[in-house]
A and B are shown apart, each in its own frame.
Chain A
Amino acid sequence: MCLAIPAKVVELRDADLAVIDLGGVRKEISLALVEDVRPGDFVIVHVGYALQKVDPEEAEKTLALFAGLDAPARETA
């Protein structure tokens, strides 16, 4: 139910709407709940709404964590 998927914003439209690309599938979603989204950004999409932007730097850090490249994680949000 709370499932949401990261998707790339490819086009901004009027009324807070945008087109996302999800592995080749395109769909119109709403950006009404987020701010400062630009084409090329990734957003977390849930029931037709972007809930948050994906932070590419943080994603890289987490992947580095998986690979054990970091010291034990201690950063608190």
Chain B
Amino acid sequence: MKYVDEFRDGELAKGIAARIAIEADPSRTYHFMEFCGGHTHAISRYGVKDLLPASVVMVHGPGCPVCVLPIGRIDMAIELAIREQAILCTYADTMRVPASGGLSLMKAKAKGADIRMVYSASDALRIAQENPGREVVFLAIGFETTTPPTALVVKQAAALGLANFSVFCNHVLTPAAISHILESPEVRELGTVKIDGFVGPAHVSTIIGSQPYDYFAEEYAKPVVIAGFEPLDVMQAILMLVRQVNEGRAEVENEFSRAVTADGNAKAKALVAEIFELRRAFEWRGLGRVPYSALRLKDEWAAFDAERRFDMPERSVPDNKACECGAILRGVKKPTDCKVFGTACTPETPMGSCMVSSEGACAAHYTYGRFRNAA
């Protein structure tokens, strides 16, 4: 497939790996955080780690929307489906996230709750049109990529005069999470997480552009290289980061220039700004409450906001004590540091969210890397 196959070419990968090996200074280390789960997945799936010299260490970031969605929010969604008898439409990604009481959306569905997997927000809108007698709630999750489609269906629902459609909004923002990590004690005070630069988001950046990252380069003196999700994109970004570090630069560079511009997608951004506003704070799994890190519907669209349409008290539920998802999401621990990794917690029976999504650090390592050191 065009724009896919050529970005996975093994021969080219060897060339980039050779340049990284030559240019990376063996007397120092380079710790780069790949923010996105998409990059985490690519690094594990294509064995990028094995092509890097020992001095280059990749730290997994919190950029997996399924992983950072706290248990309480899933509980709230399940309650909507059960108590309000609503049709809950969700992207498939969230179906197996463990919730309270041994439940998940999948298990709630098995118990009779009307929970439906959709490919697109527009499918949820169609279901609302087809079921005028039922409340239909779209469980909206995701970073800046999935937000514009949610904004669009809210607007369409208003135009159609759909009175039975609402959105349970859990959209979160990338720059806020990056700030939070850079401000975390592990990075700033304790130094337990060393970050020399970021591999910046691919598809999130197609919407928000490269400009929002300028702040991190300037304020925190950390280089950022926005990269596509194909393995060669990731490797090229690592090479560009190594070069920035070697030259003492901290700039925003764009490896994914085939789809990312400085300003991003103006039409999508305008639509998001029309429908959503910032929440003062939002709970992230692993990061806790992060200020101004998520969106909610503006008052003007309150009729389509499930949190205002239904009685939905905010819930905060602690993670399972044995689960290290929180520390893994902050880059403090690796999946293999978790006692339940690969034993009690597997992709078939996940205990923590990082094992649920294929982009979660644990699921990626379990699927592609758990035998790496066995030989």
**Which residues of A are at the interface with B, using a C-beta cutoff of 8 A?**
1-6, 8, 22-23, 30, 32-35, 42, 44, 46-49, 51-56, 58-59, 61-63, 65-68, 72-77
Query: By the criterion CB–CB under 8 Å, are A30 and B262 in contact?
Result: no
Q: How far is the CA of A18 from the CA of B165 in the complex (A)?
A: 25
Are A77 and B265 in contact (CB-based, < 8 A)? no
Choose among B1, B4, B149, B251 the residue that contacts A47 (Cβ–Cβ < 8 A).
Answer: B149
Q: Is B60 an interface residue (CB 8 A)?
A: no
A33-B149, A34-B267, A76-B251 given; A2·B65 CB < 8 A: yes
- Tell me whether B253 and A4 are in contact (CB under 8 A): no
Instruction: Give residues 95-119 of B contacting A (CB, 8 Å).
Output: 119
- A75, B267: Cβ atoms closer than 8 Å: no
Chain B, residue nearest A23 (CB): B1
Cβ < 8 Å to A, chain B residues 129-145: 141-143, 145
Contacts A54-B3, A55-B258, A59-B258; A2 near B204 (Cβ below 8 A): yes
Some 30 contacts from A to B, beta carbons below 8 A apart, are A1-B64, A1-B146, A2-B65, A2-B143, A2-B202, A2-B203, A3-B38, A3-B359, A4-B203, A4-B206, A6-B259, A30-B122, A47-B121, A47-B145, A47-B149, A48-B120, A48-B121, A48-B123, A49-B120, A49-B148, A52-B260, A55-B258, A55-B259, A59-B3, A62-B257, A66-B232, A75-B257, A76-B210, A76-B252, A77-B254
Residue on B nearest A17 in the bound complex, by CB: B122
Q: Kindly state the separation between the CA atoms of A56 and B258 in the bound complex, as whole angstroms.
A: 7
